[in-house]
A and B are shown apart, each in its own frame.
Chain A
Amino acid sequence: MVCSWGGYTFIINLIPMHVLLCIVTGRFSSRLYIAYAPLVVLGTLLAALVPVVGFNAVMTSEHFASFLVFIIIHVVAFVYYIKGILSPKMFKVAVTLVVSVGLAVCCAVIAVLIALVASSPTKGWSGRSLSLLDPTYASKYIPIIASVSEHQPPTWPSYFMDINVLAFLVPAGIIACFLPLSDASSFVVLYIATSVYFSGVMVRLMLVLAPAACITSGIALSQAFDVFTGSIKFQLTGASSNTEVDAAETSSSTAESQTDAVKTEKPEETAKNRPSRKSKKKEREHGEKPSTEAKAEKKRLLALPLESSVISLLLLVLLGAFYVVHCVWAAAEAYSAPSIVLTSRSHDGLHVFDDFREAYAWLRHNTDVDDKVASWWDYGYQTTAMANRTVIVDNNTWNNTHIATVGTAMSSPERAAWEIFHSLDVKYVLVVFGGLVGYPSDDINKFLWMVRIGGGVFPHIKEPDYLRDGQYRIDSQATPTMLNCLMYKLSYYRFVETDGKGFDRVRQTEIGKKYFKLTHFEEAFTTHHWMVRIYKLKPPKNRIRGKTKKSKSKTSSTTSSPKRSGTKKKNPWQ
Chain B
Amino acid sequence: MGISRFVLLVFTISMLASPALSDLVLSKVDRRIYLTSHIVRISSTLEVENAGPETVSKVLLAFPDLQAQNLAYLMASPHEAKAKVKVSVVSFPIDVVKPEDMPPGVTFYSVSLPQGLTVGASFTFDVLAVFTQALRPMPEQIGQADIQLVLYQDSAYYLSPYVVKVQSLSLKVPDSRIESYTTLQSTKVQGSEIKYGPYENLPAFSSSPITVHFENNLPFAIAQELVREIEISHWGNVLVTEHYKLIHGGAQSKGEFSRLEPQARENVQGPSAVRYLVAHLPPRAHSVYYRDAIGNISTSHLRGDSKKTELLIEPRYPMFGGWRTAFTIGYGLPLQDCLYESEGRRFLNITFSSPMIELVIDTLIVKVVLPEGSSDISVAAPFFMKQWQETKISHLDIVGRAVVVLEKTNLVPEHNQYFQVYYKFNRLSMLREPLMLISGIFFFFVACIVYMHADTSISKFSASYLAKQQWEEVRVAIQQVHNIICRCLATHDKLEASLRDLSRTGEVQACKAARKSTDGLLKELSKELKPLMTFLQSSPSAVQVLSKVEELVAKEKELLEKLMAKHSTAVEAYEKKSGARDIENRIALQQQKITALRQEVDDLLEFIDEI
A binds B: yes
Where the two chains meet, the residues of A that have a C-beta atom closer than 8 Å to any C-beta of B are 247-248, 251-252, 254, 256-257, 260-261, 264, 287-288, 290-291, 294-295, 297, 341, 352, 354, 357-358, 360-362, 364-366, 385-386, 494, 497-498, 522-528, 530
Q: Determine, out of B158-166, B421-429, B597-605, the stretch whose residues face the partner at the interface.
A: B597-605
Determine whether the beta carbon of B595 is less than 8 Å from that of A287. Answer: yes
Q: Is B294 an interface residue (CB 8 A)?
A: yes
> A453 to B596, alpha carbons, bound, how many Å?
80
Q: Is B418 an interface residue (CB 8 A)?
A: no
Can you list 17 A-B pairs, Cβ within 8 angstroms, ordered by A?
A248-B500, A251-B504, A264-B595, A294-B602, A354-B297, A354-B298, A357-B295, A361-B292, A361-B316, A365-B324, A366-B324, A385-B294, A494-B258, A498-B260, A525-B317, A526-B257, A527-B317
Q: Determine, out of B114-122, B369-377, B511-519, B584-592, the stretch whose residues face the partner at the interface.
A: B584-592
Determine whether the beta carbon of A260 is less than 8 Å from that of B605. Answer: no
Q: Is B489 an interface residue (CB 8 A)?
A: yes
B residues less than 8 Å from A252 (CB atoms): 499-500, 503, 584
Q: Is B59 an interface residue (CB 8 A)?
A: no
Determine whether the beta carbon of B316 is less than 8 Å from that of A530. Answer: no
Determine whether the beta carbon of A526 is less than 8 Å from that of B323. Answer: no
> A287 to B599, alpha carbons, bound, how many Å?
11
Contact code string B291-330 (vs A, CB < 8 Å = 1, else 0): 0111101110000000000000000110000011110000
State which of A290, A294, A358 has its C-beta within 8 Å of the C-beta of B605.
A294
Q: Which of B257, B297, B489, B601 has the most CB of A within 10 A?
A: B257
A residues less than 8 Å from B499 (CB atoms): 252
B residues less than 8 Å from A362 (CB atoms): 316-317, 323
Closest to B315 in A: A361
Q: Is B580 an interface residue (CB 8 A)?
A: yes
> A530 to B298, alpha carbons, bound, how many Å?
18
B residues less than 8 Å from A354 (CB atoms): 297-299, 316
Closest Cβ–Cβ distance, residue B360 to chain A (whole Å):
18
Interface of B is mostly: helix
Task: Say whether, besides A294-B605, A361-B292, A523 and B504 are in contact (CB < 8 Å).
Answer: no
> A256 to B323, alpha carbons, bound, how many Å?
102
Q: Is B256 an interface residue (CB 8 A)?
A: yes
Q: Which of A341, A366, A386 has the most CB of B within 10 A?
A: A366
Closest to A253 in B: B584
Closest to A497 in B: B260
Q: Is B577 an interface residue (CB 8 A)?
A: no
Q: Chain B interface: which size bin?
A: 35 or more
Task: Say whether, besides A288-B595, A357-B295, A365 and B259 are in contact (CB < 8 Å).
Answer: no
Closest Cβ–Cβ distance, residue B274 to chain A (whole Å):
13
A residues less than 8 Å from B255 (CB atoms): 522
> A232 to B588, alpha carbons, bound, how many Å?
33
Closest to B259 in A: A526
Closest Cβ–Cβ distance, residue B253 to chain A (whole Å):
10
Task: Say whether, besides A264-B599, A527-B317, A357 and B323 are in contact (CB < 8 Å).
Answer: no
B residues less than 8 Å from A260 (CB atoms): 592, 595
Determine whether the beta carbon of B595 is less than 8 Å from that of A261. Answer: yes
> A260 to B596, alpha carbons, bound, how many Å?
10
Determine whether the beta carbon of B325 is less than 8 Å from that of A365. Answer: yes
Closest Cβ–Cβ distance, residue A87 to chain B (whole Å):
29
Closest to A518 in B: B256
Q: Which of B245-278 contact A (CB under 8 A)?
A: 255-260
State which of B294, B496, B591, B606 has its C-beta within 8 Å of the C-beta of A361.
B294
Q: Is B493 an interface residue (CB 8 A)?
A: yes
> A341 to B298, alpha carbons, bound, how many Å?
10
Closest to A356 in B: B294
A residues less than 8 Å from B605 (CB atoms): 291, 294
* Ranked 5 nearest A-B pairs via Cβ: A526-B259, A365-B324, A294-B602, A361-B316, A358-B316
A residues less than 8 Å from B606 (CB atoms): 294-295
Determine whether the beta carbon of B326 is less than 8 Å from that of A365. Answer: yes
> A217 to B602, alpha carbons, bound, how many Å?
35
> A523 to B320, alpha carbons, bound, how many Å?
14
A residues less than 8 Å from B295 (CB atoms): 341, 357
Closest to A268 in B: B599
Determine whether the beta carbon of A523 is less than 8 Å from that of B493. Answer: no
State which of B317, B504, B595 has its C-beta within 8 Å of the C-beta of A358.
B317
Determine whether the beta carbon of A352 is less than 8 Å from that of B602. Answer: no
A residues less than 8 Å from B256 (CB atoms): 522-524
Closest Cβ–Cβ distance, residue B561 to chain A (whole Å):
17
Q: Which of B361-380 contact A (CB under 8 A)?
A: none
Determine whether the beta carbon of A526 is less than 8 Å from that of B592. Answer: no
> A438 to B499, alpha carbons, bound, how many Å?
88
A residues less than 8 Å from B326 (CB atoms): 365
Closest to B502 in A: A252
State which of A257, A352, A358, A530 has its C-beta within 8 Å of the C-beta of B588.
A257
> A287 to B605, alpha carbons, bound, how many Å?
19
Determine whether the beta carbon of B323 is less than 8 Å from that of A264. Answer: no
Task: Say whether, besides A260-B595, A294-B602, A354-B298, A523 and B258 are in contact (CB < 8 Å).
Answer: yes
Determine whether the beta carbon of A386 is less than 8 Å from that of B294. Answer: yes
Task: Say whether, besides A361-B294, A494-B260, A523-B258, A366 and B323 are in contact (CB < 8 Å).
Answer: yes
Closest Cβ–Cβ distance, residue A201 to chain B (whole Å):
35
Closest Cβ–Cβ distance, residue A491 to chain B (whole Å):
13
Determine whether the beta carbon of A256 is less than 8 Å from that of B259. Answer: no
Q: Beyond the given A341-B295, A526-B259, could you list 9 further A-B residue pairs with CB under 8 A, ordered by the A residue number? A: A247-B500, A248-B503, A252-B500, A257-B588, A260-B595, A291-B493, A361-B325, A362-B317, A497-B260
Q: Which of B256, B297, B580, B599 has the most CB of A within 10 A?
A: B256
> A527 to B596, alpha carbons, bound, how many Å?
87
> A385 to B584, alpha carbons, bound, how many Å?
91
> A6 to B254, alpha carbons, bound, how many Å?
47
Determine whether the beta carbon of A365 is less than 8 Å from that of B323. Answer: yes
> A555 to B293, alpha carbons, bound, how many Å?
56
